[in-house]
Every structure is written in structure tokens, then in C-alpha cells.
Amino acid sequence: MQVFHIRYRNAQGALMRILNAVSRRGLDLTSVHAEYDGQDYAVTLLLEVSQKQIGQLSREWCAIVDVIEVRSSAVLRGHEEPVWAPHPPASETVAQQSARAALA
């Protein structure tokens, strides 16, 4: 199970576009929680996804014009708080990791 945390501008349809990326893949939405987070809006999704789908979903969300930030974490038994990681390949850090991997 993977938990995704997406910050977005609450423009018309923004949340629906985020959810569409899930529904178009036929994935079950185990849990959805959207709220105002003080400055923007945020939605937390719990999904059963493959490793490949984690990347695909994160990149598709990043491409939505009203999305500000995408983070994801595996839900680990015994850990109440997920360990968040910003999602690439948008982030420079991970892209540099890709570069190292490419040369490996």
C-alpha cells in the first residue's frame, strides 16, 4: 500500500484531475482525504499500486497545472507516520540519482 500526499491549488476540477489519474488506471481508491492545509489544499490518497505505477501517477500529477507538490511513502506496519519523499523525476536530487544509475 502506498500513501500519496498532493498539494494543489483549489481551482475548478483540480481535485477531480488528481482522482482521474487514479480512476483511468482502474485503481481502487482505498482512502481519500482532502482539506485546506493553511495555504493551499492537500489530498492524501491511499492506493494499492505497483512500483511502476508510483512513478507514473506521480509524474502525471506533477503535469496537472494546479498541482504544487507530490510526495509519496510506503505504508509500513508499525509506523504511524509515513516517511515522506518528494517525487521525481521532477526533483533535481532524484534526477541526479538517475544520472548516476545511467552510468552504472
> Rule CB under 8 A: which residues touch other proteins?
9, 11-13, 16-17, 20, 24, 52, 55-56, 59-60, 62-63, 65-70, 88-92, 95-96, 98-99, 101-103
Instruction: Give strand pairing partners of 93.
Output: none
**Sheet with 67-74: strands ordered across:** 29-36, 41-47, 2-8, 67-74, 85-86
Output the smallest distance, CB 90 to other proteins, in A. 5
Choose between 9 and 33: whose C-beta lies nearer to other proteins.
9
Among 80, 83, 28, residue whose Cα is nearest residue 53: 28
Q: How many angstroms separate the CA atoms of 59 and 55, rounded?
A: 6
Choose between 83 and 103: whose C-beta lies nearer to other proteins.
103
Output the smallest distance, CB 22 to other proteins, in A. 11
Choose between 52 and 77: whose C-beta lies nearer to other proteins.
52
Output the smallest distance, CB 79 to other proteins, in A. 26
Choose between 16 and 83: whose C-beta lies nearer to other proteins.
16
